[in-house]
A = this chain, B = another copy of it.
Amino acid sequence: MLFYQLFEPQSSTYTYLIADLKTKEAAIIDPVWETVDRDLKLISELGLYLMYILETHIHADHITGASEIRKNTMARTAVSALAEIDCADILLVDGQVLELGEKRIKAISTPGHTNACMSFLFEGMLFTGDSLLIRGTGRTDFQEGSASKLYESITQKLFTLPDDIQVYPAHDYHGISSTTIALEKELNPRIGKNRSKEDFQKIMDELQLAVPKKMHIALPANNVCGKSEVVKSMIESNLLGYKFTSSMAGGR
């Protein structure tokens, strides 16, 4: 089994590259537009055959690298059917299994941060997107967010997995790379220690978070899977407000 955790610093996003080392078949989870070149280079260096580009959800804080990676690898994109987008090759349903060489990836529907959130289970590792974070959870105040649903997803679907499952979220803002089911059940200040749903909803209601800076461009871009033409037209209109590398603005 091959596993890489990759980091994009502007949005503090973790991208994951996983593979069956025997067959070299691979999947990438939550690639980011800005780091597509790095990811493609790594996939090529490792001699991997990229089979899937998995999105844990439609991101509001960064633009997906899915379309660019798909174009350069012929991997298939996969996202929850509940996302109601028509650009993905595979529309995932709860419990769906994707074969990756001789191994399997299981998609687990974990609505709450968004309605279309999926977590992915692979070889003792759980990729939780923005559902369960390290000592935190995704927010639930937009994109059909629901604290009630997120509570059910985490407590009924994730916390019922084995304690020693390694949890890899889509973000961490403190430089911590992973956690476990046991640790979050014990230490998560929002939802650990058997907190009640009412407690959790109150905590989430009172968060008062600012809207993500890039939401106005990330959502439309991600609703078309980060399609190059759309993102490039955003770059040309200077809508993104942050610097792209020359290869991104011009090349691909």
Contacts and interface: CB of A to CB of B under 8 A. Distances in A.
Interface of A: 4-9, 35, 38, 42, 45-46, 174-178, 183, 187
A175 B6 contact: yes
Nearest to A187: B45
Contacts of A8: 175
Contacts of A38: 174-176
Main secondary structure of the interface of A (DSSP, over half): mixed
Contact of A176 (B4, B176, B178, B183): B4
Given A6-B175, A7-B7, A177-B177, 17 more contacts: A4-B176, A4-B177, A4-B178, A5-B5, A5-B177, A5-B178, A6-B176, A7-B175, A7-B177, A8-B175, A9-B9, A9-B175, A35-B174, A38-B174, A38-B175, A38-B176, A42-B176
Nearest to A34: B175
Contacts of A174: 35, 38
Contacts of A187: 45
Nearest to A37: B174
Contacts of A6: 175-177
Contacts of A9: 9, 175
A187 B35 CA distance: 20
B4 A183 contact: no
Given A45-B187, A187-B45, A175 B35 contact: yes
A219 B125 CA distance: 40
25 contacts: A4-B176, A4-B177, A4-B178, A5-B5, A5-B177, A5-B178, A6-B175, A6-B176, A6-B177, A7-B7, A7-B175, A7-B177, A8-B175, A9-B9, A9-B175, A35-B174, A35-B175, A38-B174, A38-B175, A38-B176, A42-B176, A45-B183, A45-B187, A46-B183, A177-B177
A46 B5 CA distance: 22
In this complex, which of A8, A9, A35, A38 has the most chain B Cβ atoms within 10 angstroms of its Cβ? A9
A85 to B, nearest CB: 27
